[in-house]
Amino acid sequence: MGRTINWKEYKFRASQCHKLLTGDIVDASIYNDQINELENERDTLTNSNGNKVKWTTNKEEKLKKLKELASKPLFERLPKTMTTELRKIHRAEKHNRNFSFTNKYVQKGIQQEEEAITIYQYYRNKVLGIRTFFINNKERLQNEFVSGEADLTDTNDFEKCNEGFDTKCSWELETFPYKEDVLDSQYEIQNQVYMWLSNTEKWTTAYVLVNTTEDLLHKEKMKWYYALGLHHSNRTDKEQEELEVSYDEKCKELEIRFIFDYDKFVERNPMHNLIITREEWFDKGYNLDLEERVVEKISLRNNDIISKLKNRIEISRKYLEHLDNN
């Protein structure tokens, strides 16, 4: 049966809001205009330009289809991504379930959040000349439409701040954005929600290249261990030796991909058996300078986006009520 929820007052989390803004909701008036035009053509055998025309079976079928589309309730005209998200929310809230998604990228972001904040703070001090002492925010704000828990603010007070910041841990250099890249729409909408909640005008998403954790690096290495078949023993000593050499080469490649500060990784994980030596690492220039490890994307408050989100939330609440009755 599930819990009874007042969907009229349901508050969407900042991380959910981008899916509410996907796609277009087809306005029934568009169909009605076409219906009126076709019906006039059928009744007068004259088109909108005043020219004589014939009424055909194809036009009759088109008119029928348009009437069917126009008669559909709003809920059946919502974009697919939006309805999928709302259905997930309905099931999760109604039956007290957590459908949160995770993978290695999400795990790194969670595990290395504090490290990312430390690097970003150091970057602002050394590169931008802005002295900052960030405390990871744990306060959740809400208004009548949304709720959110931002990462950082300039005052370390989400409710009373001038601007805020969100850190994102890139998986590796390949996925690290360039300064010229447009901020992902998911994070842009999330920033708009944070500005809406805190009544601010500026929010920055900081992408940070942080060393992977030892656990995640080990898991990546083990994928190659099994892919090369090292867990099997039915081979000659020479074959085994060749496979072990290949495995070490793959492990070195992974270390170069997922470590950006060699000394920091060794300091944090002194027992990890790194294949690449410190001498080779620095000789080949694998360490990345601080200014190469942070990219900032600034969002400015956009009241048009916030207004559109309010409208979508009102529609979404009606759809959630609709799901309760089906």
51-91 pLDDT, tens digit per residue, is: 998 999 999 999 998 888 888 887 788 999 999 999 999 99
pLDDT bin (cut points 50, 70, 90) of residue 99 is confident
In angstroms, the CA 324 to CA 87 distance is: 10
pLDDT exceeds 80 at position 1: no
Number of Cβ atoms within 10 Å of the Cβ of 260: 24
pLDDT of residue 25: 84
Mean pLDDT score of the chain = 93
Q: Give residue limits of the domains in the chain.
A: 25-72, 214-290
CB 191 within 8 A of CB 304: no
pLDDT of residue 325: 82
Question: How many CA atoms lie less than 13 Å away from 182 in the CB half-sphere?
Answer: 5
DSSP helix/strand/coil, 284: coil
pLDDT bin (cut points 50, 70, 90) of residue 47 is confident
pLDDT of residue 182: 96
In angstroms, the CA 133 to CA 139 distance is: 17
Task: Tokens 């939006």: give the residue.
Answer: 82
Looking at the chain, the whole-number percentage of residues with pLDDT higher than 70 is 100
Looking at the chain, the whole-number percentage of residues with pLDDT higher than 90 is 79
pLDDT of residue 77: 84
pLDDT exceeds 80 at position 28: no
φ, ψ (nearest 5 deg) of residue 295 = -130, 125
pLDDT of residue 323: 92
Mean pLDDT of 113-129: 96
pLDDT exceeds 80 at position 118: yes
The 10s digit of each residue's pLDDT in 250-261 is: 999 999 999 999
The 10s digit of each residue's pLDDT in 183-218 is: 999 999 999 999 999 999 999 999 999 999 999 999
In angstroms, the CA 311 to CA 75 distance is: 14
Task: Tokens 């759809």: give the residue.
Answer: 319
CB 202 within 8 A of CB 301: yes
pLDDT of residue 135: 94
